[in-house]
Amino acid sequence: MTRATNGYKVNLDRLDIGGDFVQGHRIGYVRVSSFDQNPDRQLEQVIVDRVFTDKASGKDTKRPQLEAMTVFVREGDTVVVHSMDRLARNLDDLRRIVQELTHRGIRIEFVKEGLTFTGEDSPMANLLLSVMGAFAEFERALIRERQREGIALAKERGAYKGRKKSLSLEQAAQLQKRSQAGEKKSQLAREYGISRETLYQYLRVDSDGV
């Protein structure tokens, strides 16, 4: 029996009476690069027992839910991921994660690539992991290159204005004065609706006289 939970299909047959998971369950891992992306789409129509979701960019080394997932899974479980680039930051990272999990007797299933790794150290399995992982890394590099080229062309046309300023000139001036008056920076950041990092950027710009 299955039930849809947060966009995923959860297999209730893998739960015991007390609500704990039994051995051999399917664990989903989802990573979205921003809060605007919908994590439900990655494992849509895939039956899993539990899902761990990180909201972080691919280059971000801090992925707490990935760490929690690797601690949670046990021998006989299957980790289900939409694609290789959702699991790892680069090819070396992909090899490391796959090897660490499969050496513990945990299967890894990649939905997009249609591949499952079980820890069998066959030459074909290692070749597929390297080739598909390298392809995913190459694909990401192409996307970044297209983005850079698009921005360069837009700048030539005068159409690229960069990221919109968070604060107006008047607000930035007020921020500088209030900070110099000794108001707490954390309170100012909350009031103006900006991060601490953005606040310090405004203060640095003002102090440089730009």
Active site residues: 33
Contact yes or no for 29/86 (Cβ under 8 A): yes
How far is Cα 58 from Cα 88, in angstroms, rounded to an integer?
7
Sheet containing 8-11: order of strands: 2-5, 8-11, 47-48
| Closest of 122, 117, 96 to residue 105, by C-alpha | 117
How far is Cα 103 from Cα 101, in angstroms, rounded to an integer?
5
Give the residue ranges of DSSP H helices in 57-166: 64-72, 84-87, 91-102, 123-157
How far is Cα 149 from Cα 171, in angstroms, rounded to an integer?
34
- The DSSP H or E segment spanning 203 is helix 196-207
Mapping DSSP to helix (H, G, I), strand (E, B) and coil, where does residue 94 land?
helix
C-alpha gyration radius of the chain: 23
How far is Cα 58 from Cα 41, in angstroms, rounded to an integer?
17
